[in-house]
Each structure stands twice: as structure tokens, then as C-alpha cells.
Structure 1
Amino acid sequence: MGALISEACSHLSRGGSVLFSGPTGIGKSTLLSAVAAESDDHLVLRCSLAESESQLPFLGLIDLLAAVGDDVLEQLPEHERTVLRSALLRGGDPGAEPGLLPLRVAVLDLFRTLSADRPVLLVIDDAQWLDPPSAELLAFVARRATGLAISVLAAVRAEPGGGSHADFYPAPVLTLQVPVMTVAEVTALLGRRWPRPVLSKIYEASGGNPFFALELGRALAERESHWDSEDPLPLPDSLRALMGERLGSLSPGVRRTLLTASAAARPTINLLLQAGREDAADEVAEAVGNGILEVTTGHVVRFTHPLLAAVVYADAEPADRLRVHTELAATVTDPVERARHLAIVAPGPDEGIAATLSEAAAAARRRGAPAVAARLGRLAADHTPAPDPAADRRLTAAEDMAASGEFVAARDLAHEVLAVSADPAQRVRAWIVVMDASGQAISEVGDVFSQALKDARDDPALLAPLHYRLAWRAWLAEGSATNALQHAIRSAELAAEAGDRRTEVMALAKQAHIEFFLGRPEAEATLLRALSEPHEPRVMIDHNGPAFQKHRHHLLNDRLEEARTELRSLIYVVRQRGVVESLVNLQHNLARIEIHRGRCERALELTRQSLRLAEDTGLSPGPSWYSMALAEAAGGDLERAMAAAERAQRHSEDDRDLLFLPQALHAEGLVRLMRGQYADAAEVLGRVRRLEERQGLMDPAMRRWHGDLAEALARSGNADEAADLIELTRARARRLDRRSVLAVMDRAAAQVAEERGDLDEAVRLLRHAVRTFNELPFRLEEGRARLTLGQVFARRGETQQARLTLREARRVFSHAQARPWLELVAAALDHANGEDPARAPASYDLIGSLSDIESKVAALVAEGSTNREIAARLFVSVKTVEAALTRTYRKLGVRSRVDLARLAAGRPIAGA
């Protein structure tokens, strides 16, 4: 919506007219209000129209001019004033027929008078219902609007039956199609935490239309207590009436064909014929003519809006719906769709139906649709007569639910099995579903492990997957990588004994991960064992599987491109298969790689996607908030970075997740370091060190906080402690051949040398770090090394060299869109120029700290442009210019346009 508002405001600021087009409920009225609110320098005249009033002459004009007082009319010639007052029902003879030409001239002169003082904006909602006389008068004005400051902002319904409207918009006219909302936007709009399948149903039925989604949500909220998630959505009367208008004139035969189409997953004309609709082609054509259906490639029949299908289905008699599903079950060839129809036809226990549904669930699972598999599996269990097969089918459905992110439903289904089953294998499977559906909050289900181990007894096949999850608990909840490693090793051994290759591979992958963390030399061999054949595809794409650990191995060895390629390939497959938890983890891990590579905008986008998905599905958002904090610190805003770091800590502490807590603290420490809060940064990062060392961290490339802690210590007067940390980290990095870590330690050691007064040694170390990062793809680290080197040159009094080096740092950060770092470079350039960075800066180099829009606004202000002129040139609203200018003043430390112009010219600022 924001982009549409900006585009509309920009066009209006250049004197054009804007037309928002879209179906009922899409948000056109909201957009009109938002754009009108941005046009506070206009005289805004409004009217909101209705179909029932479209035949009342001059009603639109009366509404538009309601805010125009009689004192304005008094400025018109008497004969014009008389005819206009009559048309507006403000006196005179209301029954008299005003002459058309005098009335046209009177309206034109009135708008000339109104626009003489300030621009006039006519806001017309539901313009298709504007009465013809008003439309004709406005069209007359539009044709003569050249030189007049008059614009029209209108909304028109773009759907069958939407009415017609005259060409009454002063040129040039910009028509903007209002798009439907995304799933995430509809979810946020509803403001409720329904399960994902229910939210998906609401979204699909609404077609992304916000009004429809809200109405469906209200209806569901009213009936939620007696509504089953497998039932069609309850339809409110408001939507039934709205859609019923489009369906009311259809013949009975067409409605029967529409019912068959609404019940089918992918209706075609041929399928409708096979399902008994002998006149399907003609009936579809009639529905197409009425705007109900459209026929796409391959003769696929589709409703023009999903709600039409919902209304057709909901309004049908139950017997008619049953007949249609019976016909489709005998007609369709897709096993998944056939099973769905059979389940509706035969609602009671039936092993044949249950087996068909179970096979269909397996087919859906193979296609990478775990949510569909879960629904079919649950139906299969409900149709199963015997208790034992029903429990197994419920567990399979619960496992599919967990894979698709339906964690609450998965846990509920698992507990249903635990309540009735005494079979050890079923009980252990159920306990594992409960564990897996807990995500990062695995400590919250600690008592589950003892019960599961008791049920497993001494069966290797049951113990192997439990020890794998015990490895996770030991690391996340106990903070002991060593204990976690023992459980992972034991799991792999038990799985090999039981012939469970899937668990063996996952355990080996976890073992390799922990061995890398502990700096064990056998880690690579363990990873190769996990990657060796045979293995299942779903194991290879798991975010804890061997392919993910392969990406981590690339990252440890500074092969960022290979690590990125590995993750992007995994994300592509995971999206296809719908494995939500894996997708969340892969996205926020890819974001961290993009930060290293200096692609800050992409990192921010990935972290937003990851966080939104985690929150939508009930996963712990702690890891995603941590990645968000890093991305904001790299390329966004330090205040937002700190807020994200605090939320990451809170979630990790609430989940008692000791694996991610130190990472969340690292994000806070980094932000404090960038703010110059060195003592606070050292305290927070010192806590990170204690937590990580307690867990057993030995590979500094696994958790890259060492350089930040060393810098914070050096800058806060603890150079000796910083030097000890640097030497210890260097020793570990040399043993494991971690080049990027060694280069970071060079930068940190240079800061220690600088604090000790050895500036020559600091320069030597920093030049070596810059050379190393030139060879490695760590762009942000290169920028940091150049920034520090420029600061040391400035301290040595080599002003010219300092400026050149800092400008190189600015080039690196500018390319990376690393805005917070650009601000630090700008402050360093001030210092190199001999200015006090706490006071108003006197170097135009500081413009480099601004965002793209801020720098453009600043440059145009320096040229003497007004806010309106800037808005027109940049195609943004005046309010956007004002907001950018406010941020620019704050960042540059100036208070006025004059100061900004002086800054750009390199002249002193008054009072500085």
C-alpha cells in the first residue's frame, strides 16, 4: 500500500489525476483517505457515492461542493450564482430546469475561483456511481482544466456490474490497480492466531481481499466453538448477499454446473462433462458471460473470485453436494483428490476408504505437500475401524503436521494417541512428535524424555531417535556441547544397529556439527560419513541434516559463495516440499552469509521473511530476531538492531535456549560497540565468552564475537586482557586454518597497539588485514579494517592518507548499503578534517551517511529547491520529503536549510 500511496501523491503533486481501480473491498477507500491526508496543501472536496443514488441528478456535485460556503458563490456573477444555487439546492426554484450551458460555465468559474488560492483536489469514492449530470459537468471542467490547479483522486470498482463512469479526470490520468494482499498481510490484518490451515482457508476464500478476509474472520470467530477445520468456512450474510447478486440471474442448469466446478480441485470442461454435466460447454459460456467463470489454458474452469465458489457450494442442498462428490469420486484420476471426495461421500468408518486416504496422504507427502498429507492422514485415521491402525495413521498425520508447521495440532494429535495406546513404538513416536513440535523451547518438555526412555526400554530402534533429541536438549537446555556429542554418537551407533539409516544420518550430522564447535579434527570425516549414501531426500534437506552441515563447513573455511549456493539450493527444495521449520532456519542462516558478503538489503529481506514465518507458525522467533539484529546493525538502523537483539534475548531466555542466548547477547554487544559504548559492550560480550566457553567452543569461526570483544576491551582500557584473548583466538584459528578469523584478530591487535601508542605496528597489522580481506569475500570486514586504518592514519597526523583510506571504507560500505557503518565513516572523516563530530559537521563527505532518498533530498535542498519541487522531481509525496529532511537534519547535526546548504558548500555553519 505504501508504494501505491507514494506513487499517487507524486503524480498528484505534478498536477495529474489518479484513479484507483479494483474490486469491492480491496481497500480503495482506505487508499483514497491516505492519499487525501498527504494532500494537506490542497483544498480537498469529497463525495462518496452509492448505486441507489446514482439516478439523483447533481447529487455528486452537491456532495463535492458541500464544504464550499455561500461566500465563495457570492464571488460569481449573479446569473451564474443563481443557476448554480438552484442545481445545488441552495435556493431559487428547485423545480426549474437550469440551462445546461450556463450551468457548465458557472461550475467552471467556481473551480477557477477555488483554485486561485490553492490547488483543488476532488476525492470521489465509487466513481462508477456518479450521477450522469454531475459526471457531464465535471467532464466539461476537465476538458478546460489546462492552467487550473485541479486534480481528481477517484476510486472505481473494476468488476462486472460495477457501472460506468464518464471521462471527468483532468489529464494526465494515472490508473493504479489495487493489488490483493499477501498471506502475511491478511494474517496481520485478522490479528488472530488461528492454525495455518485455517488462515490459508480464509486467505484462499478471500482472494487476498481485506474486506472479505475480515468478514470471513468475524463469521468464523462467532462460530469457532462448533466449527471443524475440515468444514467449509462459515459465510457471513454480507458476503452471501454481495456474491448472490452475481449468481441470482443464472439458470438452474448453470448453477448445477457451477456446483460441480466448486467441488472439484481443478475443474475442466471435459471433467464437468464426465461428471454428468452434458451441457457443460454452453453452461460455462453463460457463466463466463456473467463474469462468474473464466476459462484458462487447457480448458481449465476457474471462478473469477474464490468467494463465488464458496457461496455456490454453501448454498447448495446437502443431497446435491453429496451427489456431486459421488460423481467426482468416480471421475477424477488424481489419487489425492479422489480420496478427498470419497471421505465426504462415506463419512463413517470404512477400511477401504481409510486405505485410499492413507495412500493419498503418502502421495501428497511425496509431492512435498505435508499440510495436505496431514489432513488426508487425519481423515484416514477417522475412517479406520480398528484402533491400532488408526493410531499409526494419527501419528503419521501428526508428523506431517509438525513438518508443515502446525505444531499445536501435531502435539494435540500425539497426545490423543498417548491417551489410548500402550504400544511402545507408538508411544515413542508420539513423544517424539511432542519434542519436535516444541522447536527451540525443548527444555519446556523435559519430563517427556524420561517418559519416552521408559517406554523405549532397551530397543535400539526406539532409543536411537531419542538419543538424537537428547543431544539437542543437552546443548540447548543444558549448554553442554560435550554431553550433546556423547548422545549424538550413541544415537548413530544405535541407529546403525537397528538398521535405521535416516536416524543414523541425522545423528552423524549432529555429531559433525558439535565436533566443529569443539574444534575436533575428526569433524570432517564425520560429515563425510553423514553425506555418504544411502540417504533419504527429506533427510538431506533438513535444516539439521548433512547438507546443511556442508554449508557450515564451507562457511568455516571462508568459502562464502559455496555456502550461499548450498543454502539457496536447499531453500528452493524446502519451499517445494513445504517444510516450514527448515525454511525458517535456512532463511536466517542465509541472511548471515549475505551480511558477510556485504549484501545488507538482501539480508534484511531474508530476516523479515524468516521472522514472519516463524511467528506465523508458532516457532520460537529467537534465532530469527538474532539474525534481524545483525542485519539491522549491518544495513539498517542501530535502534532497531538493539530492539531486535533484546527480543532475541527475551525469547531465548523464555525458551531456556542456551545455544542461541549467547548469540543474541553478541548482537547487543555489537550494537553497543558501534555506538561507542565500549565498557558496556565489553561487559555484554564478556558474558558471551563465558557462556560459549562453558559450552566448549573451540573453533572461533563458529561464533564470530572474538574480534568485537577484543576491540571493546581495548577501547575501554583493558588492552592487556584484549591481547590475551587475541593470542588465544589466534592459536585456535591457526590450528584450524581460519584465515578470516586471523585477519579479524589483526584488526583487533591493531587496536590494542593503537591504545598502547604503537601506531606503526597498528598500521602494519591493519594493512595486512585489508590485504587478506581483499582476497576473501568478507566485504563488511574489509570495510571495518579500512575504517580502523583511516582512524589510525588520522591519529598519526597523516590527514591526506586518512581521508583516502576512509573514502575507500565509505566506498565498500556504500556498495554494501551498510548505513550504520557509513555513519561511523562520516564521523571519522569529520575527525580527519579536524572537526568536532559532536558539533555541526563542516564536510560534505558526511552526506555519505545518508540513505539514498535522504542524500537526494539534501542535495536538492542545498540547490534551493522547495519541498514541493523536490517531491515532484523525486516522484514522492511532500510528507516523504519532510520526513527525509527531518532525518537528514538529525544525522548531519544541522537545524535549517541554510545550514544544510552551507554544509554542502563546505562553509562554516553559524553557531558551530
Structure 2
Amino acid sequence: MAVCSPQPTLVGRDDELDLLSRLLGEVMGGAGRSVWIEGEPGIGKSALLESFLAEAARRGCAVRSATAEEFGHRVPLHVMLECLGATPGSADPGLRDVAELLSCGAHGDPVTAAAERLLGHVDRLTADGPLVLAVDDLQWADEFSVPLLHRLSRLALRRPLLLVCVCRPAPRRPDLVTLRRGLTASDAEMLRLSALTPAAVATLAAGLAAALTVRPEKRPSISPALRETAEQAAGNPSYLRELLAALAREDRLRWDGDTVDVDSAEPPRTLADAVTDRLAFLSPGALELLRTAALLGRAFSVTCLEAVVGRSALELTAALEEATATGVLAESELLLAFRHPMVRQALYERPPAGLRLALHLQAARALADAGLAVEHVAEQLLAALRTSEHVPVGGWAVDWLLVAGRTLVGRAPRDAAELLGLAVAGLPADDPRRESLEAILATALVLLGRRDEAVRLAEKVAAATRDSVRAAEMSWTAAWAMTDDDRHEAALAVLGRALRAPGLSPAWSARLHAMLARAAIADGDLGRARAAARQALDEAARSGDRPAAAAAEHAAGLLLGHRGEPSEAAARFEHGLAVAELCDDPETQDLRLRLRQDRAYALLAQERHADADLAAGELLAAAERTAAPPRLACARILAADVHYHAGRWDDAVAQLDAAAASDDLIPAGDRRWLHGLAAVIAVHRDDQASAESHLGAVPAGETFAGTAYVPLARALLAERRDLTGEALAVLTGLLDRAGTVYHRHIWLPVLLRLALRDGDDALARAARVAAGEPAAAGTPAVSRTAVARHCAGLIESDAEALGAAVAAYRAMGRPLQLAQTLEDTAVVLAERGDLRAARTAHSEATELYTGLGARWDLLRADTRLRRHGVQRRRGPRRRAATGWEALTPAELTVARLVADGRPNPDIAASLFVSRRTVEVHVSHILSKLGVRSRVEIAREAAGRLELPSAV
């Protein structure tokens, strides 16, 4: 592929050009000004200046400009002489005299005299008309030109002179700092160039790619892969040009029609030298420090850097300030980060691979010796191990893992599993340290959802060890994995053997009994669960062990929740969490997350929606910081459940989609919860294909968590297909089942309505009785009352009872149940001939269903009421499948913020949702709009959306 050198192109600087053009207009009107343009190397300062000066010349303004040279400071007034054309061959006699004055060594102070004459020359030029005087790369200017520029800025206050100073933020010379301060004081315009927007980067990359490959398309476009590659330049045009030039040199740019693509995301091999050459402006000390910082990743703490280089923060201050001022580094919360990933990559790859390996190992040892965060040490060790397959994990690293391994599992389970696995593989079978590392590894495997591996390893260690504590721990770990995998009988057997083992401590007896209670609950043996939970509490109190006490409280809370006592369960979870928080160790981290999740669920079951919403948010925040993917997915499912009941279905779907990314790793019960809830929403929204897909992912069988959603979804889907008998059979199975009382308000009215429709009065009466039977006593009174009155109103065609249920559901904040009750009320009123009241109830139900996107419910309500002559005057349009009309309100809000250039973390913070939720919304937007990037979202949004959106 032929390659040519692209010419500098100004893209994405319209606002800056508009500002300079406005200042030019003021000068041409007689009002002088000064402007200071600042920005990191390569950000486009010179291209902006060149474009502006061309415009000034076109508009008939006199232009004088020059660029300071790095070694030009040796000649007094060098840059000003060049700017004004003061040379021995100048046509202007006065300028020739200035050049001669400086070259012949006149008596007195020739530099001062020359400066006075240059100032007078500029004064005369402005008397003839407006003048633009510009100096680029001012950081290299000689020491005599800078004071002259200061005097020229004062001249601009009374003459039609626009003085333009262009400078890097470093080196921070005292005379330039003084000049900048003086300009600021005289009301000069301060213009700092920031990184190009993603849209501008895409436009510039397309033009550069076309020029580099000698394909000057009229409107070239770039592929998503090349767009992602271009983002490595972090909005710096110069780095982007180097990146694409390197790709072109390696023949990695290819055309597909009028789109240019890249063959892979691998950084170009020839890029490192080009990029590091561009860093030559840095001092040797700053450059050396950056090479070390590159080992620590794109973002790093000064504390880690101190440890690795063996110097204090005070000693590093000058170099770090230089790197930050020049834009190589930027602040990222409490860390420093390389602004340009490709700069960090270039610095990182400069040393040979063997040297990088040694540097990583040295960095790991330094971080460990300094007692810094275990995940940082692990990152360095893994970086070394990934560099070469022949480097064993031995010596101090194994000893460090024995001490820090459990903490590492809690903070970075994936890294821990990889590092521990490599360490175990490298140790001989008779090494006494191997068993200890395997025990830690087993826990990491459970957290990561690799439960089969965890069971095999835990049972192997338990069988071989002579340590009773380790045997108990491994039995507990194996049972944990088995319970999460629905292997309840196997878990109960393992726990039974462990509890019969001699020498069992009270603390481990408590933890094993707590796990036994969990397994028994999941297995449906509530008597055994009750005895185990009681034993766990007793043993925990006797031992004084906090992790054991927290586990026992958790088991007791689960039992209470399963028995339909959410208030008491929430109290147990709250107490268990308080105890676990006192531990604050890696061993209880997953337990703390479980307690938070179950507490939020219990709050939801009590109709304490605001508290449940807050608890779910706290859970997600904690899980996103520390949890392994399976536990984070479970937290998302809980948050989705809270959103579902509050009527925020778009947010619920976003959380469920995010959780589904870890579908294969989630415990079996939680998978049923995920797919059941997703299927319920899909049926309500009349997306039968999606509902079938989710239900197909649920294996047959019963379990505790979330199963009410699965049969409900199956029943709703059957009803949608006019298979009333099948729907009734599914829901009747729930009627006789103990547990999951909390969900009765969802499906009992559905069962009763279908029974009446099918003429099964006996089943309808049974449903009504179930709504108020003692088994429902644990349900909050307002919910129990609403369900009972709803069912009574249905079976008796009692509009007053239904009206009481409407009021209750309205107070509870249950939009779906409120809409369904209003629908039933409208039908009863229509049957009584009160069509006006029926239309009112139907209208409100329609509004609620529309807000939820519940298309099937709308269709059902219309069908039921149409036979009574009640029709909507104007039905809501069915949401389109593609295009802007297909976007939900939540997606429209996110689209506005994306188009406004807001990154995902900022959007998440402004909307009070998780980053992953925003990512899912963006994914849906891309799919519905048929575009491939955030840039294209912004382009499509132009003229459609009001920007920015008020949040």
C-alpha cells in the first residue's frame, strides 16, 4: 500500500477559531487585545495559529509572526527580529539599522536600544492599520524578547494590535510566568487547548488515513476498530498522526469500500521510537521517572512510584510537575495517569523484554517490602510471569502469597487465582507451603464461579490435610460451592462429615452449621435448617468469633425470610452486617455483600421501597469496588428487582443485561432469578421471543431464590397465547407451595382472574382464601390488604373493594399492580353500566402501562373493555423497534449526555446509576440507532435532541 505524509489538518477547533476571529474583528475596529494560547505538545497550537493568521491576512490585516527555536535563545531578541523582519537585507531602513545595531557591537546597551526601536516600529505599523503580531513556541524565546512582548501587550491596550503568544505549559520559566501573569492582569484572553472530542478525532483520523494511503475520498469513514485504535491518542492530533503513520508503514490500514479499517488492535511495532522521540522536550529526570511509572500501568499512585524508585515524594515533585504541566500525565482522582495510552505503551516497550521482566520483579519486591496494596504487588508479579513462561513463582513471592493471599483474593480474585495457580503448579508436592496456597486458591475459585474446580481442590485438601482447622475450612468451601450449584444433598453430606470430625472448634462448628442451614433451606428441609441455624448461633456466641457470628446471623435471616417474616429477617441481616463490618477482613467480604443483598431484598419485601432503593445502591457501589463477577451479577439482579417493582423497567433491563454477561458463573438460584424476572418483563412488553429465550435458560426444578418469577412468566406467556388451561396449571402449582410469600401479590390476582375467565369458581375461591390466609401473615399489612381486596373485588365484582386496592397500591408505589387493579376496576364498572367511570379507570391504567412499555397488558385491557363499548380515544403508538422512536426515556437521557460528550463515569454519577448500567444503555442505543460508536450517536443526535440535557 502506498504511503504519503499527510499535511497538518485543523479539525475540531471551531470554537477556538471563532474566539480568535472575534478578537480580530475587535482589532480591525480599532480595539487592541492580547491572547495567550497554551497546550501540551502536539495538541494543535501551531495549526490553530496558522489557520488564524491565514484568515487575518485574507481579511486584509497586516500579519507579523515567528516561531522561537530551542537554541535561538542564544541570540538577543532573536524571535522578535525574525517576527518583524529585522535583517541586514530588510527593505525597511529602520529594521536594517536594528539588525546592524545588534551585529556591530555598538557602544552602550545595543539590546535595549534595539528593543526600543522595534517597539517604535510596531507603533508605527499600527498607526497605518490593524496588526496581528504572533510568536509561536514562546517557551524557547530568548530572555530579551519576553520583556519586549510584555511592553507590546501594553501597547495593544491603546493601539489596533492583536498580540498572540503561543506557549507550552512547561518548562515554566520565571520570565514567562511573569509575562503570563501580566497578560492576565491586563484582561488578555487565555485560551488553553484541550483534547479533541471523539467526533473530531474520528474526522481527523479519516482524513489522515485517506491521505496516508493515497485514497483522498470525498467523505472517507473509519471502522469501529480503527476508531477505537485512534482513541489511544487521547485527542492529541500529533500522536494520532504518528499512530496512523505507523499503521500505514506496517501496511495495516485497508479499505473496504469507502471505509478504512485496521487489521488488529495491536499497537504498531514502529510506534514506540516515534512517540518517545516526541518526548525529547522533557528533562532527562522527568523522562526516566516516566519510564519507571510506565511499569505501574496507565494510572498509578505517587506512593507506589516512591517505593519503586526509592525516592521521596518531595524529591519527585519537580519531575512530576513537569510531566503534568506538559500534559504527559494528568490527575485521575487520587492517582496520576498517562493522558495518552500510546505514550505509556511506547515508554513501557522501550526496554527489552528481559529487562522489563527484571524491572517488574524488582517493582513487585519493592511494593511488597513497602507494605503497599497487595493488588499492586500482584500486578507486577503477573506482568513478569506473563512476560516469560519460564519464570517460576518462588522464593519471596510464595512466602508473600502465604501472608497476603487471602487479602488478594478479597480484592482481586482473578489475579489471585492466576497467581496462586502458578505458584501451586511450581511447588513440589512435598512442599509444606503448597497446601496452604491451595486452600486460599479454593476460595478464589468459588468467588469466580469456577465451582467444580473449587470442589475438587477443596475435597482434595480436606482429605490430605492433618490440620483440623484446614479440613473444616475446606469442607465449608466445598459445601459453599455445592450449595451455589444446587447440589444440596452433596453439600449436606460434606457438612455432616465435617461436623462429626474430632477436634472441631466452636468457631468452625458455627460456620459449618450456618452453611448447613443454608443448604437445608435450599433443599426445602426447614426443620433441619432451623436446628442448624440455632446451633450456629449458639456455637458462635460460645466462640466469640465474629465471622462465625455474622455467618450464623445470615443463616437465621435466610430462614426467617423463607418463612415469610421479612421484618425479622432484615433485623438479622442488619445485625450480621454490623458484626461483619467490625471484621473488615477478606474472609468476610463476600459474606458482607451477601448480607447487604439479602437485607435489601428483605426491605423490598416489607414494601420499604425507598430504603430498599438506597440499600440496593449501596450494595452495587460496594460490589463494583470489590466483588468478583458472579457476586456483582447477583447485586445487579437485586437492583433490577427493586427497579422492576418501582416501575423503572428500563433500568431493570439494563441491570439484568449487565448481569447476564456473567450468566455461566452465577449461582443456580440467582440464574433463575435473573431469567425469570427478565422473562416476566419481556412478556409484559410482548417480546415473546425474548421471554422464550430466558425461560429456555432455566432448568427444570424448584429452588428458593426468585422462582416465583419463572412460573409467573410461563403463565403469562401461556395466557398471551390464549392457553388459559396451561397458565392456570402453572399458577395452581404455586398456590400449594410454601415459601416465597412475598411474591403472592404478583400472581394471586392473575390466578384468580384467569380462573374466573375459565369458569373455575372453586379455584378462584381458593385464590381468594390464599390472599388472606395465615401463611401470608409475614407480608406487610398494606400489601396483604391490597391483595385481599383486589381478589375480593374480582370474585365479587365489587368496585368498592377494587377501589380500596387501587388506593393501597397507589400508596405502596406499585405501578404494575396499580395498573392491573385499575384495569380490573374498569371491567367491573363497565359490567355495571358505569361507562364513564370505567373509561376513567381504563385511561389511568393505559397511562401506567404505556409508561412501563407493557404492550401486552395494554392489548389485554383493550380487548377486555372493548366488548363493553369502552375504547381508548387515541391509543398509544407501539414503540418502534429501531431509530430514535425505539429509545426508552432512560436511553434518550443517556443519548443526550453521550451526544454532549460526557464519558460514561460522568453520566453514571449524574444519573445516580452504575457505570455498567450506562454501558448497557449505550449498547442498546447503538443497536437501535444502527450506529457503531458514540461519535455516530452524537452525529445522529444533531438537530434531534436538545443539548445539553438538564440532569
TM-score range, shorter chain: 0.5 to 0.7
Distance 1:543 1:744, change over 3 A: farther
Q: 1:683 aligns with which of 729, 744, 765?
A: 729
| 2:514 maps to amino acid | Y
Q: CA RMSD in A?
A: 5.2
The question of 1:326 aligning with 2:362 is answered: yes
Q: 2:869 aligns with which of 800, 825, 833?
A: 833
CA contact (8 A) 1:701 1:741 kept: no
The question of 1:264 aligning with 2:296 is answered: yes
The question of 1:845 aligning with 2:908 is answered: no
Residue 714 of structure 2: aligned partner: 668
| 2:761 maps to amino acid | A
> By how many angstroms is 1:587 displaced?
1.8
Distance 1:51 1:241, change over 3 A: farther
Counterpart-to-counterpart distance in 2, 1:706 and 1:264: 58
Counterpart-to-counterpart distance in 2, 1:880 and 1:399: 41
| 2:623 maps to amino acid | V
> By how many angstroms is 1:315 displaced?
8.7
Residue 744 of structure 1: aligned partner: 787
CA contact (8 A) 1:747 1:769 kept: yes
Q: 1:513 aligns with which of 558, 564, 572?
A: 558
CA contact (8 A) 1:635 1:819 kept: yes
Distance 1:702 1:547, change over 3 A: farther
What SS does the aligned partner of 2:329 have?
A: strand
| 1:846 maps to amino acid | G
> By how many angstroms is 1:674 displaced?
5.1
CA contact (8 A) 1:244 1:311 kept: no
Paired-residue identity, %? 16
Distance 1:462 1:791, change over 3 A: same
Distance 1:463 1:159, change over 3 A: farther
Where does structure 1 lack aligned partners over 5 or more consecutive residues? Answer: 1-49, 56-153, 183-208, 213-236, 754-758, 836-842, 858-875, 883-912
> By how many angstroms is 1:789 displaced?
0.9
Residue 296 of structure 1: aligned partner: 330
Residue 443 of structure 1: aligned partner: 487
Range moving further from structure 2, 592-601 or 450-459: 450-459
Counterpart-to-counterpart distance in 1, 2:294 and 2:570: 55
What SS does the aligned partner of 1:296 have?
A: strand
> By how many angstroms is 1:243 displaced?
1.7
1:51-79 CA-partner distances (Å, limit 9, x unpaired): 46999xxxxxxxxxxxxxxxxxxxxxxxx
> By how many angstroms is 1:782 displaced?
0.7
> By how many angstroms is 1:466 displaced?
2.6
1:604-661 CA-partner distances (Å, limit 9, x unpaired): 112112222233668663221112112223446244224423432x2x53xx746555
The question of 1:430 aligning with 2:474 is answered: yes
Counterpart-to-counterpart distance in 2, 1:309 and 1:454: 52
Residue 783 of structure 1: aligned partner: 819
CA contact (8 A) 2:495 2:516 kept: no
Counterpart-to-counterpart distance in 1, 2:617 and 2:495: 39
Counterpart-to-counterpart distance in 2, 1:251 and 1:811: 61
Residue 515 of structure 2: aligned partner: 469
Counterpart-to-counterpart distance in 1, 2:598 and 2:478: 25
Q: 2:673 aligns with which of 585, 602, 623?
A: 623
1:171-197 CA-partner distances (Å, limit 9, x unpaired): 9x9999879789xxxxxxxxxxxxxxx
Residue 617 of structure 2: aligned partner: 568
> By how many angstroms is 1:304 displaced?
4.5
> By how many angstroms is 1:806 displaced?
0.5
Distance 1:725 1:680, change over 3 A: same
1:726-779 CA-partner distances (Å, limit 9, x unpaired): 1243133467543223212322222222xxxxx4xx212211111212222111
Distance 1:682 1:267, change over 3 A: closer
Mapping of 1:235-254 within 5 angstroms? 243-247=268-272
| 2:790 maps to amino acid | R
The question of 1:805 aligning with 2:811 is answered: no
Distance 1:381 1:342, change over 3 A: same
Residue 697 of structure 2: aligned partner: 647
Residue 391 of structure 1: aligned partner: 435
Counterpart-to-counterpart distance in 1, 2:653 and 2:746: 19
| 2:658 maps to amino acid | Q
Counterpart-to-counterpart distance in 2, 1:303 and 1:238: 25
Counterpart-to-counterpart distance in 1, 2:362 and 2:207: 34
| 1:777 maps to amino acid | G
The question of 1:729 aligning with 2:771 is answered: yes
Counterpart-to-counterpart distance in 2, 1:855 and 1:181: 24
> By how many angstroms is 1:809 displaced?
0.8
| 1:720 maps to amino acid | A
CA contact (8 A) 2:810 2:818 kept: yes
1:361-403 CA-partner distances (Å, limit 9, x unpaired): 455467x433344445556667889844432233223323433
Distance 1:769 1:597, change over 3 A: same
Number of residue-to-residue matches in the alignment: 636
Counterpart-to-counterpart distance in 1, 2:307 and 2:551: 50
> By how many angstroms is 1:475 displaced?
2.7
CA contact (8 A) 2:623 2:632 kept: yes
Where does structure 2 lack aligned partners over 5 or more consecutive residues? Answer: 7-201, 230-243, 248-261, 281-286, 887-923, 931-951
| 1:604 maps to amino acid | V
Counterpart-to-counterpart distance in 2, 1:330 and 1:450: 43
Distance 1:350 1:689, change over 3 A: same
> By how many angstroms is 1:565 displaced?
1.3
TM-score for the superposition, normalised by structure 1: 0.58
Counterpart-to-counterpart distance in 1, 2:307 and 2:589: 44
Counterpart-to-counterpart distance in 1, 2:203 and 2:665: 33
What SS does the aligned partner of 1:244 have?
A: coil
The question of 1:612 aligning with 2:655 is answered: no
| 1:369 maps to amino acid | A
1:205-228 CA-partner distances (Å, limit 9, x unpaired): xxxx9xx9xxxxxxxxxxxxxxxx
1:307-356 CA-partner distances (Å, limit 9, x unpaired): 98499659934356325643674489545335665785996676644333
Distance 1:181 1:603, change over 3 A: farther
Counterpart-to-counterpart distance in 1, 2:694 and 2:309: 55
Mapping of 1:3-42 within 5 angstroms? none
CA contact (8 A) 2:827 2:864 kept: yes
What SS does the aligned partner of 2:268 have?
A: helix
> By how many angstroms is 1:783 displaced?
0.6
CA contact (8 A) 1:404 1:580 kept: yes
CA contact (8 A) 1:557 1:738 kept: no
Distance 1:853 1:452, change over 3 A: same
The question of 1:502 aligning with 2:547 is answered: yes
What SS does the aligned partner of 2:661 have?
A: helix
Counterpart-to-counterpart distance in 2, 1:507 and 1:830: 56
CA contact (8 A) 1:411 1:434 kept: yes
> By how many angstroms is 1:564 displaced?
1.6
TM-score for the superposition, normalised by structure 2: 0.56
The question of 1:602 aligning with 2:646 is answered: no
CA contact (8 A) 2:392 2:426 kept: yes
Residue 857 of structure 2: aligned partner: 821
1:580-600 CA-partner distances (Å, limit 9, x unpaired): 333222222222222221111
Counterpart-to-counterpart distance in 1, 2:422 and 2:564: 49
1:148-183 CA-partner distances (Å, limit 9, x unpaired): xxxxxx987469988459997879x9999879789x
| 2:296 maps to amino acid | A
Counterpart-to-counterpart distance in 1, 2:394 and 2:793: 76
Counterpart-to-counterpart distance in 2, 1:286 and 1:708: 69
Distance 1:712 1:156, change over 3 A: same
> By how many angstroms is 1:426 displaced?
2.0
> By how many angstroms is 1:544 displaced?
7.5
Counterpart-to-counterpart distance in 1, 2:346 and 2:416: 23
The question of 1:485 aligning with 2:530 is answered: yes
Counterpart-to-counterpart distance in 1, 2:573 and 2:310: 58
Residue 99 of structure 1: aligned partner: none
